[in-house]
Structure 1
């Protein structure tokens, strides 16, 4: 008789979290697919299931079918930008060990926005590739500036000093963006929705130019996921485990900067996605960044698609609400909750 050997309890317990995480990842992916369908269905013109079938068959004969085709690039853009900002936020929280870090709060988003506006107003940079290059450079300079300012004084770059330096820098950059754009009525009118943050002006050519940069930034962040796990233990412990702390932090920061700069160049400064999503995903899958980053990418994509849907259906007028406003409405109370939660833990 062949004996059937049951797996050891330790092995069974080790398999369960992986299976649960894979199931959770599948559920989040299905939710994102449903949101994409809703994004194509909702808007100023109603569409039917027959219209979807006709579009999938390659037809574009009616106004409703044309509406679906028009909504497709903005849905894809919302997916890409939401995923990029969420991964960038999770990465910045890891390398700074700061629970309230995200591209907006640390000033990286507004640094990219200011660079794009300066390039447009003073150098006439209107090509999408040029604007993306300016945005990435501006995001990198803002990140270096904030980290330098936050490192001054006793104790080095503590999470509190980084958050304060980032908040002050972000406010200053936002004021400079307004100062540059206000005298230029032509720029103010054409880039008003971009300045707030939106995906309404999406087109396939700009998405095709931006997608490779987003892919490179995401791959860099994913490649340093194991190193981020070591950084969570503290620099001394990470170094004791053989991790090159400075190299890991710099490489991960480069990935986050590329993601933030490229996303800001195509969609404008959108805040709070990188703050809200990593916290929610951390509650679901824990702190292992090998799981946290893909969960954050999917959930961030879903959040921005949902924000775009809300912006379209919530306004009673023909003028839709930009996604940057919707994410701010969602993210501001969440930010207050996180700060209060951290204070309670410190007591």
Structure 2
């Protein structure tokens, strides 16, 4: 049996290498393509050494930051979706559907209305809001036994998200001064983001990377059941708490710098499991390139589909992710993870 696993692992490594190569290619395309007046040929010439000042500004000051931020956001949302699905043992668990993104978005909107402008403060508030949202939905689910039913868990998260969305709208009615800024941010987009925002979230993302490396094996054991995990020397409640903390930090950071972007945390693990199988450790490895690939591809499409304007990234991911959710719900047998 061990011999049979060797070709499978080699095949997975080849797929992972191909995905990383595709990510590099899409990142280059992201630098070349945009809704502005700088053409791909001008941008490519500038990368080769041409001294076009306009192209230099557009590529390095506008497109490069949003490309790097897109990579970070894709990784954060993809990994957090896989972690949330693993700990909830639910293939429909997704930060945007379970109120985690809504909690972060509401917290940031509240901070903006109250006058917060520092990026670090906005990120901390978003992570706190994501943590509260995640705990609320998962707590209600376990209290009512909803976590055993994927559909009801999504409905509970949708109700919580709708409640927070309504409260955000009420805040905007009472504070027209902040309405434009909040509306620009709450739709989800990479346009106009700065590298300073990315540097501000890197410490928390690095902390989550270390934490995920420590809990990946115990989380894989937890998939066998709490008794089995306990028998192997792990602590299921501690594992769940650390996973929720990681999800809150990652989703809060992604939401703070790019706004709420839904369905990425659903689609990325779905594709990753098709490549990696049920092992959460391999799934997480595949989420790392697949998340940025989806985000950057959607961002490139959003720049050109209605040029010279741009389509909000959050709208495009919702249009692409909704059919995946419908297909999963309509499946003859929805598996528990």
TM-superposed CA distance for 1:224, in Å, is 1.5
TM-superposed CA distance for 1:15, in Å, is 1.5
Residue in structure 2 matching 1:341, options 293, 312, 331? 331
* Separation of aligned partners in 2, 1:92 and 1:112: 16
Deviations 1:136-178 (A, max 9, x none): 111111111112211224x474344533321211111111112
Q: Which residue of 2 aligns with 1:308?
A: 299
Residue in structure 2 matching 1:87, options 64, 75, 79? 79
Residue in structure 2 matching 1:169, options 152, 160, 167? 160
* Separation of aligned partners in 2, 1:60 and 1:178: 47
* Separation of aligned partners in 2, 1:136 and 1:73: 22
- Quick check: 1:112 aligned with 2:104? yes
Q: Which residue of 2 aligns with 1:5?
A: none
Residue in structure 1 matching 2:313, options 287, 308, 323? 323
- The 3 A distance-change label for structure 1 pair 15 and 107 is same
Q: Which residue of 2 aligns with 1:126?
A: 117
- Quick check: 1:150 aligned with 2:141? yes
Number of residue pairs the alignment of both structures matches: 333
* Separation of aligned partners in 2, 1:60 and 1:173: 49
Residue in structure 2 matching 1:270, options 249, 254, 261? 261
TM-superposed CA distance for 1:182, in Å, is 3.4
Residue in structure 2 matching 1:78, options 54, 70, 81? 70
- The 3 A distance-change label for structure 1 pair 306 and 48 is closer
Q: Which consecutive residues of structure 2, in runs of 5 or more, have no partner in the other structure?
A: none
TM-superposed CA distance for 1:213, in Å, is 1.6
- Quick check: 1:45 aligned with 2:57? no
For 1:1-347, list aligned pairs within 5 A: 10-43=1-34, 44-48=36-40, 51-52=43-44, 54-55=46-47, 57=49, 61-69=52-60, 70-122=62-114, 124-153=115-144, 155=145, 157-160=147-150, 161-316=152-307, 318-341=308-331, 343=333
Deviations 1:63-110 (A, max 9, x none): 223221121000111110011000000000000001100111110100
Deviations 1:15-35 (A, max 9, x none): 212211111111000111111
Task: Report which stretch shifted further, 240-249 or 108-117.
Answer: 240-249
* Separation of aligned partners in 2, 1:158 and 1:190: 40
Q: Which consecutive residues of structure 1, in runs of 5 or more, have no partner in the other structure?
A: 1-9
Conservation of the 8 A alpha-carbon contact between 1:222 and 1:293: no
Larger Rg, first or second structure (1 or 2): 1
TM-superposed CA distance for 1:344, in Å, is 6.3
Task: Report which stretch shifted further, 209-218 or 156-165.
Answer: 156-165
- The 3 A distance-change label for structure 1 pair 311 and 50 is closer
Conservation of the 8 A alpha-carbon contact between 1:87 and 1:218: no
* Separation of aligned partners in 2, 1:126 and 1:215: 24
Please, what TM-score do these two structures have when normalized by structure 1? Answer: 0.90
